[in-house]
Amino acid sequence: MTAAPHFPLRDGVLHVENLPLSDLADRYGTPLYVYSRAALKEAWQRYESAIAGRNALICYGVKANSNLAVLHEFQQLGSGFDIVSGGELARVLAAGADPARIVFSGVGKQGWEIRQALAVGIKCFNVESAAELERLADIAQEMGVRAPVSLRVNPDVDARTHPYISTGLKENKFGIDILKAPALYRQARQMPGLEIVGVDCHIGSQITQISPYLDALDKLLTLIDVLAADGITLRHLDLGGGLGIRYTDETPPHPAELLDPVFAALQAHGLGHLQVILEPGRSLVGNAGILLTRVEYLKHTEVRNFAIVDAAMNDLMRPALYEAWHGVIPVQPRTGTRTDTYDIVGPICESGDWLARARQLPLEQGDLLAIESAGAYAFSMASQYNTRARAAEVLVDGTQHWLIRPRESVQDLYAQERIPPRT
């Protein structure tokens, strides 16, 4: 199991820490997201140990899982935050975040979002285009402030991950061509509403090798040399996020395996004064959560067998979107039941509504299943397609548990809709 030891099998029942998952399903129903506080803390401590005694800031990538309880956990542990919208800014502030430890990424920042971030005094805007730079400078001048900026450069480095989550190639929409960045930095220096503070790079997600990061770092060091020759000095280097987790047989690196050579390269280059920023998301929360779902029907055909469950692509979009793999484990594994090969599918009217394919499982109708590694990009990507209420979320600590988001009701889904009068 990828998420062990925080989801152990004890006495024939899968647990989360010291609670049987079956008890939580009975109490809160299914589908149900369950998160382990111990797993969140352990994942954080991996990064904390890697930056110990170094000038570094870890900014949790909010898009991975934006529940207030999860954000508050990381705020209490000392995290900064990487946001990509005004909505995420409001969330992290509600969770107690220090604005001076927030970086704002994303290609399409709207005027109201920029104003909101300037008003609270965030650490930095990661700027992704010349047009955004101009808008940011104009708004900052209107407000009588200077916007701290870092250009997100695109180094044209292959992150060797799924093309939908690769962000550092020339054909991707993200960032500024690294060869054009010096001219844009010179332009930014002339804008009175801006203050240049850093350089940013983010090459992708679910990366399980260090070499793409180091390839990008080499290009960033060359860029920093060019900027220094122009008299432009920086305060930080943001390497983004993207470290992978184990979904099946991956062997993700420890954060120290990335950071040790990064700090060594900076020291060797005479840049030891630069603060290093990382923006991990998935690697902090991915294996800290599971999605509980119950088998509604077993359907056997000549071609394949289906386990039709009460969770669906609106609860976990990754398989339909990326053909992503998630482990599937019975909460109470059966003995004496024939094992068949099943596709785990949901009730949504789409052929793409599947959670797992070709899994060998001994199943009966009514069985409870745990979909592994659902702490990242599960609820945060959830929808209400087919007028399906989004699932509840629960946080567990030992034997304690808290409902951190109640299940929506069907009435909630159309409560804000209005039928106009007929004329």
One domain, residues 301 and 409: yes
249 and 323 assigned to the same domain: no
Task: Give the CA dihedral 31, 29, 360, 326, nearest 10 degrees.
Answer: 30
Q: 104 - beta bridge partners?
A: 83, 125
| Residues 247 and 123 both lie in one domain | yes
In terms of Cα–Cα distance, which of 197, 204, 108, 196 is closest to 156? 204
Q: Return the H-helix or E-strand segment holding 340.
A: strand 339-345
Q: Could you read off the pLDDT tens digit of each residue along the chain, which spans 423 residues?
A: 444 689 999 999 999 999 999 999 999 999 999 999 999 999 999 999 999 999 999 999 999 999 999 999 999 999 999 999 999 999 999 999 999 999 999 999 999 999 999 999 999 999 999 999 999 999 999 999 999 999 999 887 755 544 544 444 455 656 899 999 999 999 999 999 999 999 999 988 888 889 989 999 999 999 999 999 999 999 999 999 989 999 998 888 999 999 999 999 999 999 999 999 999 999 999 999 999 999 999 999 999 999 999 999 999 999 999 899 999 999 999 988 899 999 999 999 999 999 999 999 999 999 999 999 999 999 999 999 999 999 999 999 999 999 999 999 999 999 999 999 998
**Whether residue 307 sits in one domain with residue 210:** no
Structure tokens at 343: 């596709």
| 125 and 263 inside one domain | yes
Q: Is residue 308 part of a domain?
A: yes
Residues 290 and 391: their CA atoms lie apart, in Å, by 12
Last residue of a domain, one of 280, 307, 336: 280
Enclosing domain of residue 205: 105-280
**154 and 258 both lie in a single domain:** yes
Q: 201 in a domain, yes or no?
A: yes
Q: Among the three residues 254, 280, 306, which one is the final residue of a domain in this structure?
A: 280
Predicted pLDDT at 218: 93
Q: Is 160 helix (H, G, I), strand (E, B) or coil?
A: coil
pLDDT at 2: 46
Residue 271's CATH number: 3.20.20.10
Count up the domains in the chain and report the number.
2
Domain boundary among 280, 312, 334: 280
Same-domain pairing of 313 and 270: no
Residues 290 and 261 in one domain: no
* Catalytic residue numbers, as ranges: 349
The pLDDT value given to residue 156: 78
